[in-house]
A and B are shown apart, each in its own frame.
Chain A
Amino acid sequence: MELTNYLYLAVVLFALGATTVLLRRNTIVVFMGIELMLNATNLALVTFARMHGDITGQVLAFFVMVVAAAEVVVGLAIIVTIFRARRSASVDDVNLLKS
């Protein structure tokens, strides 16, 4: 098996995550799509590290994980705040600036 198969898997997962962000309206599910995209990039990084025999790729994946953890904390806090103010977790209801 070629190592590129892992890359194709990462690409498919990334595209599915991006499509989730485009299609779903529940903010939390949209956020899960973002997490899926980050995970897909991690898989690509780990595969590249193995491909080139250089462990730096794994270090980058590690940093991505840390940043993703911080991002989740802030993002979910924002979602909770919006939910408290507007009683809704749908991205369509956050259109206060529109009118």
Chain B
Amino acid sequence: MTVSGGETVLFWVLAPLMVIAAAGLLVVRRAVHAAVCVVFVMISLAVLYVAQEAPFLGVVQVVVYTGAVMMLFLFVLMLVGVDAADSLTETIRGQRWIGLLLGAGLASVLCGVIAQSTFPPPQGLAEANAVTNPVALARVVMEHYVVAMEVVGILLVTAALAGLVLTHRRRIGNKPTQRALAEAKIAAVPTGRHLSPLPAPGVYAQNNAMDTPALDHTGRPLEHSVPRVLRIRGQQREAAELLTAEQTLVHRELEGPDDPVPSVGPDSSEGETR
């Protein structure tokens, strides 16, 4: 069996990219980026499987690994928080260098093993795959690995149950009724809670976005009209800045002599909300 030239090219194109993506797992800070790196490695592996006369495994790789496993990873990332970046502080001193050294040592030892051992001349799977690859695989599984198949089935059922049990949350107290919630709200009014819903973010002549606060009846910006997440991130915009921008625009339109558009009236020049 000889390896075709096309496969050689495929290997030398994919292998460096895969190694770079796998190394990206070490470097990137955000878990989502790491997940994308792993997805790339897995899809490339599927391509290599198909090139290596294992089309069934290639398909299973895409369906199970990239389709199910990595999507599960992304779901858990969403639950845990996409922003959960890694901390940079080392708890064990010099852990980074020790880890890199161990990894390089492992790679060199295993490479040495491969270099030292003699392999038989490659046989190829043309003979075994004569009845198509899935059929050949099924014959081996059903002839020699029936018990293993059954055990794996039990394992999958157990894992599904474990997933259910581990993520199940038992309610500790009684579920609060609507009446209890309403009474708690009323009781919290003296401590500064608003009974009404929170005001919507501001709508200005030139700007209608979630990050701009609304104005109350005296013209002061209402901080709590901006969503809490934006406030925590420090992404809210100042109302004063927008109002001055609108004032300058109004002035420019009033003073512009050759402006064909009728200038904005004084009522709307306030930039008033709703």
Residues of A within 8 A of B (CB): 1-9, 11-20, 22-26, 28-29, 31-33, 35-36, 39, 42-43, 46-47, 49-56, 58-59, 61-63, 65-74, 76-81, 83-84, 89-90, 92
In the complex, chain A residues whose CB is within 8 Å of the CB of B77: 28
Give the distance to chain A from B207, nearest Cβ to Cβ, in Å: 36
Is chain B's interface secondary structure helix, strand, loop, or mixed overall?
Answer: helix
The complex places the Cα of A39 from the Cα of B99 at a distance, in Å, of 21
Is chain A's interface secondary structure helix, strand, loop, or mixed overall?
Answer: helix
What are the interface flags for B52-88 relative to A under an 8 Å C-beta threshold, 1 for contact and 0 otherwise? Answer: 1110110011001100110011001101110011110
In the complex, chain A residues whose CB is within 8 Å of the CB of B261: none
Give the distance to chain A from B73, nearest Cβ to Cβ, in Å: 7
The complex places the Cα of A62 from the Cα of B79 at a distance, in Å, of 30
Residues of B within 8 A of A (CB): 1, 3, 7-8, 11, 15, 18-19, 22-23, 25-26, 31, 34-35, 38, 41-42, 45, 48-49, 52-54, 56-57, 60-61, 64-65, 68-69, 72-73, 76-77, 79-81, 84-87, 91, 95-96, 98-100, 102-104, 106-107, 110-111, 114, 119-120, 122-125, 127-129, 133, 136-137, 140-141, 144-145, 148, 152, 155-156, 158-160, 162-163, 166-167, 169
The complex places the Cα of A64 from the Cα of B92 at a distance, in Å, of 33
